[in-house]
């Protein structure tokens, strides 16, 4: 791994087409057409990146066993994605900048854990978030992990547990998730909330310390969970269940 890291770091200033050629030849990575890689390094076990995906500058992908990035994904600037058995970033996702996304290597955990990150198609992770996937973290499709400084923790000193955020949820800034928690689909998680349990229910506002279902989404708030996460995507037309 150290030799691969040195080679990948030496490749950083080279043009994208040279990086991809060396990655294919010496690392066995696979790239779709039109993939662009900026001043970034990818040092993982296996890597597949779909067509037209763009990886910006000063990102590092390191010591993940299996990295899968879909088509038309945009990875911005200064993101660190480290460790884990699997990182699977779906088509049309965006990861903006300065996010720390990592799984602890060889954690001291008493229970079974699954170091996997699944990010559903069309999801967005904005700026300065911390996502620990020592145990499984799953974002449904079109999740917006918005604002800044939200944290997901899947472990404490010895125990680990998964975290799940349902499709089309909008998570505000400074939200904290602890292990063994989840939020349903089409929910808005209010700024500063602390999610400490599995919260069932869809099309609702989730808020508080600890967080709970507050009320159903009104018509004005539904735009937060139905508006397209990127201008080139179609809006969600599914209606809330009666």
Q: Concatenate the DSSP letters of all residues of 69-125 into one string.
A: E-TT-EEEES-EEE--SEEEE-TT-EEEES-EEE--SS---SS----EEEE-TT-EE
Q: Which of 139, 125, 137, 151 is nearest to 229 (CA)?
A: 125
pLDDT band (50, 70, 90) for residue 236: low
Q: What is the pLDDT of residues 200-229, one digit of tens each?
A: 999 999 999 999 999 999 988 898 898 888
Quick one: CATH architecture of 1-102?
3 Solenoid (2.160)
Q: Is 85 exposed, middle or buried (0-12, 13-18, 19+ CB in 10 A)?
A: middle
- Using the predicted structure, report yes or no on whether residue 241 has a pLDDT greater than 50: no
Distance CA 30, CA 27 (A): 9
Q: Which option is the CATH number for 116-226: 3.20.20.140, 2.40.30.60, 1.10.20.10, 2.160.10.10?
A: 2.160.10.10
Q: What is the pLDDT of residues 127-184, one digit of tens each?
A: 999 999 999 999 999 999 999 999 999 988 778 899 999 999 999 999 999 999 999 9
For range 118-124, the mean pLDDT: 97
Distance CA 225, CA 78 (A): 27
For the chain, give every residue range classified as CATH 2.160.10.10. Answer: 116-226
Which of helix, strand or coil describes residue 223? helix
Q: What is the pLDDT of residues 15-62, one digit of tens each?
A: 999 999 999 999 999 999 999 999 999 999 999 999 999 999 999 999
How many percent of the chain have pLDDT more than 90? Answer: 82
* Bridge-based pairing state of the strands 211-216 and 204-208: antiparallel
The overall average pLDDT reported for the chain is 93
- CA torsion, ordered 199, 97, 147, 82, to nearest 10 deg: 20
């Amino acid at each position: 791994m150290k030799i691969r890291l040195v080679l990948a770091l030496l490749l950083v200033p080279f043009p994208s087409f040279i990086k991809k050629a060396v990655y294919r030849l010496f690392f066995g990575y696979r790239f779709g057409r039109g993939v662009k890689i900026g001043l970034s390094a990818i040092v993982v076990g296996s890597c597949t990146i779909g067509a037209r995906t763009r990886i910006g500058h000063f990102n590092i992908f390191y010591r993940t066993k299996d990295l899968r990035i879909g088509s038309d994904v945009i990875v911005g600037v200064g993101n660190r994605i480290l460790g884990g058995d699997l990182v699977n970033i779906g088509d049309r996702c965006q990861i903006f900048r300065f996010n720390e996304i990592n799984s602890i290597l060889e954690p001291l955990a008493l229970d079974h854990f699954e170091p996997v990150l699944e990010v559903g198609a069309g999801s967005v992770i904005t700026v300065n978030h911390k996502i620990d996937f020592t145990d499984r973290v799953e974002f449904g499709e079109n999740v917006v992990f918005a604002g800044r400084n939200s944290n997901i923790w899947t472990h404490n000193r010895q125990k680990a547990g998964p975290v799940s955020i349902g499709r089309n949820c909008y998570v505000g800034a400074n939200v904290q998730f602890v292990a063994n928690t989840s939020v349903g689909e089409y929910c808005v998680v209010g700024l500063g909330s602390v999610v400490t349990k599995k919260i069932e229910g869809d099309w609702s506002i989730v808020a508080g310390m600890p967080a709970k279902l507050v009320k159903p989404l009104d018509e004005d708030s539904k735009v937060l969970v139905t508006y397209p996460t990127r201008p080139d995507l179609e809006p969600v037309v599914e209606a809330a269940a009666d």
